[in-house]
A and B are shown apart, each in its own frame.
Chain A
Amino acid sequence: MEENGKVLEMRNICKSFPGVKALQNVSLTVYEGRVHALVGENGAGKSTLMKILSGVYEVDAGEIVFKGKSLKHQDIKEIMDLGIAMIHQELSPLENMTIAENLFLGKEPSLKIGCFVDFKAMHKNARRMLEDMGLSYDPARKMRSLSIADMQLIEITKAIHRGASLIIMDEPTSAITSNEIKTLFEHIRKLKEQGTAIVYISHKFDEIFEIADDVTVLRDGQYICSGEIKDYTEADLIARMVGRKIDNYYPKEQAKIGETVLKVKNLNRNGAFRDISFEVKKGEIVGIFGLVGAGRTEVLRAIFGLDEFDSGEIELCGQKIKKLTTDYMIRQGVAMVSEDRRTYGIIPRRSVEENITLTFLKKFMNGVFTSRKKENAVVKEMIQELLIKTPDEDALIQNLSGGNQQKVVLAKWLLGDLKVLMLDEPTRGIDVGAKSEIYRIISQLAGKGVSVIMVSSELPEILGMSDRIIVMHEKTIVGELNVTTATQEGIMTMATGGRYYG
């Protein structure tokens, strides 16, 4: 690595939260025009390091030098003005704002008379920015109406166009799929040519090896190693991240597949999906693959009673469901884990324990009273079994790293007697080790006779875990494949509207 062209140097950064040493003597050096990948397990401290840099947290000890200037006590706005932009892992766009307002937040073009916003210019520029990213939204649309993938794309657009000299991307691709990732990478390459430095956090190795120049590995808040990416193999990185070897990445066992449990017949919802029919058998894992906007999430939501549908029917164990509501489905043993953890997954300001026991609280009662003792025992076990990284079971869930929050959400459903488990992007933002854990849990559940429906944008995961694969394209099912004959290329062809018979 050349010594000059250093944009950022973070030295011996330490940061503690009550009960957690999130970072201990971590260092990071980022160069002009290079993409620096920051990798590590969930809770390793990646987001914390970047939040310190962007002024969200104050550092306990250590030194930050940005473009030769030492940073101390700057707030978020000042850091932004210095030329550091960040795409946050947990998106928090202001939902009542329009896309244009969000894109220009804090940098609104103003009219000649001082404080008035020039909305016309704003919308024009916003449209240009969006088109540049290959997006065709109306800039006047409210953020609220966008899907989580769309929001992520907007956040990326915003960060890229801020003219920053350092852009931090904290899991920017967790919600979007291949085409958008391609566009993002094209932009990253352009930015590199202009000399912009990028810190890229991701749990997806294919992306890291495609786009990164340098890499730094963190484990449990400690600096492990750093260097040029070409000196590492994927196995090297994984071994350094987890400190052990993972041998069986997809621990899928062939479960005994029984009779049909869930049957969906000709389900339609105007604008969301059409003509959806499929069935899932006992002990079977059915993968649903499709690009963003293919209608996968909407189908799951309808089955779970979160959205109404216009026509069609749903049968559970041979019984037609007449009045479909979410709590009815849950009582029948149907569960759904949403892709949108913040909105549908966690109660942020309550403890890990309360989040886990929420749904099946009735199992932890002494008469009419809840029993902390009973809860405690089971929750402690869960935390150990799923390797959830938390100071203790009373910690607020909002203070856990993203991946660990996801494990808590999964843990909640493991307490019940499930018939059907619907997972929407179950390993979003989850590290390799934990992913493998989650696959093991899914596989075990199937072994116990649970029917699993898994929506995913990650082909290897779909191929590694499913018994059967359903492919969706433009709001409808375009085909069903047997996992033994399906190939990545084949699935992709179908998902993009091509013909393929597997």
Chain B
Amino acid sequence: MDKHRKLSFSEFYVKYGTLFIFIVIFVIAAILNNRFLTVNNITNILRQNTVYAILAFGATFVIILGHINVSYGTVAALAGCVAAMVARNTGSMTLAVLAAVAVGLTAGVINGFFVTKFQVPAFIVTLAMQSMAQGFVFLFTNAKPITGLPDTFKIAGQGTIGFIPVPVIIMILFFGFSWVLLNKTKYGRYVYAVGGNINAAQVSGIRTKNIVRLAFIFDGILTGIAGVILMSRINSGYPSAGEGYEFDAITAVVVGGTSLSGGIGTMTGTFVGALIVGIINNILNLMNVNTYWQYAVRGFIILIAVVADILSKGINKRNN
């Protein structure tokens, strides 16, 4: 049969839509403001991007599985503050990072446990987690910033190697790892299968609960790492620093073409999605748009992205 088949519009949209949107937004941003296309600003975008990009990599697994996590902001803050405390008391950055990862991992284990064991909707489980982590981080810090940190604490968020910011390098490493995990391993294939049809996956011999649990655990570990970078950027443990990050992370994933109904999505899409979110945030700042308006605009964008996803499915069905 015909091997070189033409891409239909919907296939094109699914494959390259995100990239297309990225280019359009990039061009618009460059036209709107002449400070946008400076090396300084682009590095800045990348640096500011890292936290929710890393969160979005984990979120991609969770969302492809048909679940959701809305607890990133407070869990990252908790992990970051724990890291700051450990760094201050021990002076060891290694221990600090390990502590943050342990916090994120614990949150992931708990999320995964309640979602799989009792079939509680992930939205509810992680909403509860959001509130719990919020409580813990304020109790633990007495609602005061943790300061007086060793100089090594700054590296993860503010250091550079050559002219490349360290956080960007960390992000790219985790992107590579997540991409391989999703595309090149059995686990990744199972994630798509479980998200696409959990019953069929089960009768194909996949331990669906373990797949979901592992996704939440990986997601949690990334949250811990993101928490360290977040605090490192301000060189202190700041209990409310994570506010709103779940929103940017989920927006990045959805703008990147991952379907909230599960089974569909790519890591590269998420990466580009994170860049899109980064550019939009950046240009709104450059143009001195009022913060409250920024909230409104970002809300609008996620709505558009979800509508586009639903429409593209509709197009699929009717075939052009």
Contacts and interface: CB of A to CB of B under 8 A. Distances in A.
A369 B184 contact: yes
B117 interface: no
A19 B5 contact: yes
B193 A327 contact: no
Contacts of B7: 18
A371 to B, nearest CB: 9
B206 A327 contact: yes
A233 to B, nearest CB: 32
Contacts of B186: 361-362, 365, 370
Size class of the contact patch on chain A: 35 or more
A336 interface: yes
Nearest to B184: A369
A349 B196 contact: yes
Interface string A347-387: 11110001000110110010011100000000000000000
Nearest to A337: B203
B43 interface: no
Given A343-B199, A391-B2, A349 B318 contact: no
Contacts of A57: 318-319
A194 B199 CA distance: 43
B160 to A, nearest CB: 33
B320 interface: yes
Contact of A349 (B180, B263, B319, B320): B263
Contacts of B200: 343-347
Contacts of A358: 189, 193, 201, 204, 206
A370 to B, nearest CB: 6
Contact of B205 (A18, A330, A349): A330
A327 B199 contact: no
Nearest to B7: A18
A226 B196 CA distance: 41
A358 B198 CA distance: 13
B144 interface: no
A58 B318 CA distance: 7
Given A349-B263, A350-B192, A354-B192, A20 B185 contact: no
Interface string A313-340: 0000000000000110011000010100
B189 A338 contact: no
Interface in B133-171: none
A412 interface: yes
Contact of A370 (B2, B6, B185, B318): B185
B193 A347 contact: yes
Chain A CB count within 10 A is highest, among B5, B203, B206, for: B203
A306 interface: yes
Contacts, number: 86
A306 B203 contact: yes
A139 B5 CA distance: 48
A116 interface: no
Nearest to B196: A347
B317 to A, nearest CB: 8
A193 to B, nearest CB: 36
Given A18-B7, A391-B1, A347 B207 contact: no
A20 B189 contact: no
B197 interface: yes
Contacts of B184: 369-370
Interface string B282-320: 000000000000000000000000000000000001111
A422 to B, nearest CB: 11
Interface string A381-397: 00000000001100000
Contacts of A304: 203
B90 interface: no
Nearest to A19: B5
Contacts of B189: 354, 358, 361, 370
Nearest to A16: B319
Contacts of A370: 184-186, 188-189
Contacts of B264: 349
Contacts of B201: 347, 358
Chain B CB count within 10 A is highest, among A361, A365, A369, A392, for: A361
A327 B205 contact: yes
Contact of B263 (A20, A306, A347, A359): A347
A347 B203 CA distance: 11
Contact of A392 (B1, B203, B317): B1
B11 interface: yes
Chain B CB count within 10 A is highest, among A56, A304, A336, A344, for: A344
Contacts of A331: 205
A232 to B, nearest CB: 30
Nearest to A345: B200
Nearest to A331: B205
A336 B180 CA distance: 31
B8 interface: yes
A412 B8 CA distance: 29
Contacts of A20: 1
Nearest to A409: B200
Contacts of A392: 1, 3
Given A365-B186, A412-B204, A350 B196 contact: yes
21 contacts: A18-B6, A19-B1, A19-B5, A20-B1, A58-B320, A327-B207, A330-B204, A330-B205, A347-B196, A347-B197, A347-B200, A347-B201, A348-B197, A349-B196, A350-B196, A350-B263, A354-B189, A354-B192, A362-B186, A369-B184, A392-B3
Interface of B: 1-3, 5-8, 11, 180, 184-186, 188-189, 192-193, 196-197, 199-207, 263-264, 317-320
Shortest beta-carbon contacts, A-B, top 3: A330-B205, A19-B5, A347-B196
